[in-house]
Amino acid sequence: MDFSVIRRLHLFAPGLYFEQCHASTLAVLEDGSLLCAWFAGSREGAADVAIWFARRDVGGSWSAPRMVADVPGVPCWNPVLFAHTVDGREVVDLYFKAGHQIPAWRTWRQRSGDGGRSWSAPRLLVADDVFGRGPVRNPPLLTQAGTLLAPASRETETSWDAFVDRSRDGGESWEMVPIPRERGAFRGPGLIQPTLWQGADGRIRALMRSSEGRVFRSLSDDDGAAWTSARRTELPNNNSGIAATRLGSGEVLLVYNPVAANWGPRSPLSLAVSEDDGESWEELLQLEPQEPEAEPGEYSYPAIVACGDRVWISYTWRRRTIAFWELGVTGAGGG
């Protein structure tokens, strides 16, 4: 598989709109437009943190950032964009968390029917939510059978548990499906923030951030209704976010920090490729380099989407802006 870098930029000048930003998410629309959202304010967890948004038109120009979601007086976190079709019409859902503390945050959803130009009022995704249902970091997966799988997790001070919220009615109601793990095998709190794809064999794959210095993996043979016990992979993980997508030609791309340490540095940031649905990986591109321990940078919480021969990546750049890459891919194999 070969690639070319088409463009690389920052979506806005650091410090122009807010002091800090983090946790971007991307969606590509049917007409080729791109949407990006992130949370921003004075600092992570502050009451002024809201969800911000920018749109790239088909000509390649990004709009100025604007605030699109807020819960007044309550910090917002981890937006997730998801473009899909409802009754033959393209819509975009924006999920985000709100809460003063992560163990008690709740998930809100608002919808756009005009490509992100306007949005409905936010509403709770699940009425009795007390810890954050629905997608926690990465977008839902619409399976070949039409099931919507939201990669989710629950965090308390002592335990992290990944699960999948499963919907058979387009996201109107949800069923929690746990991703089992062998608790005695974990030194730290556990697993969070899955990223999902469906392989050529129809099986659903999940990769997860962990407190163990490695990415963990789980599989589902039944459209997300049950999952295998999570197992350690050889992929390093610094206990920071990861994001994967499967190309139409079969390759899987993963953006991650290849650092094998719990709460390790958030540099470098790399793009890896798998040609066997995640069984093995090869580094394709270093997006950000390793930086000196005395001056560590933060390049983290990536998002990745693909369509045709284009791949788009965004991520946190030193908490000051959102970095964006566009890649062209050629020579991809079958799948």
How do residues 59-92 score in pLDDT, each as one tens digit?
A: 999 999 999 999 999 999 999 999 999 999 999 9
| Helix locations, the chain, DSSP H | none
| Cβ atoms of 235 and 257 closer than 8 Å | no
Within a domain: 133: yes
Helix (H) or strand (E) holding 55, with range, is: strand 50-56
* Partners of 56 in the β-ladder: 34, 62
Q: Of 98, 80, 1, which Cα lies nearest the Cα of 35?
A: 80
pLDDT of residue 296: 76
- Interval 117-143 mean pLDDT: 97
Within a domain: 110: yes
Between CA 194 and CA 210 the distance in angstroms is 10
pLDDT of residue 171: 95
Between CA 289 and CA 268 the distance in angstroms is 5
Within a domain: 149: yes
> What is the residue whose two structure tokens read 């038109």?
57
Tens digit of each residue's pLDDT (9 = 90 or more) over 265-321 = 999 999 999 999 999 999 999 999 998 877 778 999 999 999 999 999 999 999 999
Give the global pTM.
0.97
Bridge-based pairing state of the strands 214-220 and 106-112 = unpaired
Q: How many domains does the chain have?
A: 1
Give, in order, the Cα–Cα distances in Å from 290 to each of 235, 266, 286: 17, 9, 9
Q: Of 98, 96, 64, which Cα lies nearest the Cα of 82?
A: 96
Which CATH number do you get for residue 92? 2.120.10.10
Is the pLDDT at 173 greater than 80, yes or no?
yes
> What is the residue whose two structure tokens read 């699940």?
126
Within a domain: 232: yes
Between CA 110 and CA 79 the distance in angstroms is 11
pLDDT of residue 335: 36
The alpha carbon of 180 is separated from its chain's Cα centroid by a whole number of angstroms, namely 21
Within a domain: 335: no
- Interval 243-269 mean pLDDT: 97
**CA-based radius of gyration for the chain:** 18
| Cβ atoms of 21 and 42 closer than 8 Å | no
Within a domain: 203: yes
| Cβ atoms of 309 and 1 closer than 8 Å | no
Within a domain: 182: yes
Between CA 302 and CA 314 the distance in angstroms is 6
Please give the structure tokens belonging to residue 239.
Answer: 């206990």
- Interval 231-249 mean pLDDT: 97
Name residues whose C-beta falls within 8 Å of residue 222's C-beta, 6 or more positions apart in sequence: none
Give, in order, the Cα–Cα distances in Å from 50 to each of 43, 72, 78, 106, 298: 11, 9, 10, 14, 21
Name residues whose C-beta falls within 8 Å of residue 325's C-beta, 6 or more positions apart in sequence: 5, 7, 8, 287, 312, 313, 314
Domain of residue 54, residue span: 2-330
Please give the structure tokens belonging to residue 204.
Answer: 């659903």
Is the pLDDT at 244 greater than 50, yes or no?
yes
Please give the structure tokens belonging to residue 38.
Answer: 């992130």
If pLDDT is split at 50, 70 and 90, which confidence band does 43 have? very high
Within a domain: 126: yes
| Helix locations, 1-151, DSSP H | none
pLDDT of residue 183: 87
